[in-house]
Amino acid sequence: MRHSEFHRAHRIGWLRAAVLGANDGIVSTASLVIGVASAGISHDAILITGIAGLVSGAMSMAAGEYVSVSSQADTEAADLAREAEELATQPEHELEELQGIYISRGLSPDLAAQVALQLTQHDALGAHARDELGITEMMNARPIQAALASAATFAIGASLPLLVTVFCSESTTVPSVAGTSLAFLATLGGLAARAGGAHVFTGASRVAIWGALAMVATAAIGKLFGVVAAY
């Protein structure tokens, strides 16, 4: 992979994670605000609910990301420790294994033997980590960084419908938050699709449709509870 493509792939990975986090923030907070607004509660109560949704959502994203990336880091560390042990106890077998990997990738047995030997002499664990276990520098898990990035992108996404809620009146909350949130979602979906080289319209409509479904569902529930509460 050329240097520029490597960086593009890395950038797209980050962008996709950021867009997904922001989408989550928009969909869950907009749906929450629309749900409680449809139940007819006061504007202040709607805002408090939205802020609580932002904080709880960001914390849960951070917790989920931290736990999943940490367990990935644990798995990687355990795999590397086992590999180091095998390299120490059965070096010939490990060298054959590496040679086998290169043959399966298309090298002639002689060339594969040479490459395996030289890479083993240079950095045996690095060669096995990369070519046998698929652990590359890029995948080096950073749980705290991932958790903070995930919480931040969620919070940024969630703050959009919240800002709209601050500036609109009680009677216009539902249509304003729904309309602007769908526009934010479509824009982000389109951007992510474009960055990934996919169709902008497909990317935009896919996330907007799911966002709309979530908002309709919470609006219906809010209406229902609003009616029940009035009795």
What are the residues binding Zn ion (CB under 5 A)? 94, 128, 132
CB of 82 to Zn ion, least distance (A): 9
CB of 71 to Zn ion, least distance (A): 22
Looking at the Cβ atoms of 128 and 206, the one nearer to Zn ion is 128
CB of 70 to Zn ion, least distance (A): 24
CB of 219 to Zn ion, least distance (A): 56
Looking at the Cβ atoms of 124 and 193, the one nearer to Zn ion is 124
CA 185 – CA 182 distance, rounded (Å): 5
Neighbours of 178 (CB within 10 A): 22
Looking at the Cβ atoms of 120 and 176, the one nearer to Zn ion is 120
CB of 218 to Zn ion, least distance (A): 51
Residue nearest to Zn ion (CB): 128
3-state secondary structure 106-121: CCCHHHHHHHHHHHHH
Quote helix, strand, coil % in the chain, to nearest 5.
Answer: 90, 0, 10
User: In angstroms, what CA-CA distances link 167 with 43, 138, 160, 161, 227?
Assistant: 11, 43, 11, 10, 26
CA 163 – CA 131 distance, rounded (Å): 49
For the chain, the maximum distance between any two Cα atoms, rounded to a whole number of angstroms, is 84
CB of 83 to Zn ion, least distance (A): 5
Looking at the Cβ atoms of 30 and 135, the one nearer to Zn ion is 135
CA 151 – CA 39 distance, rounded (Å): 28
Looking at the Cβ atoms of 24 and 94, the one nearer to Zn ion is 94
Q: Report the phi/psi class of residue 136: left, alpha or beta, with left for phi > 0 and alpha for psi in -120 to 50.
A: beta
Element (H, E) at 1: none
Looking at the Cβ atoms of 39 and 129, the one nearer to Zn ion is 129
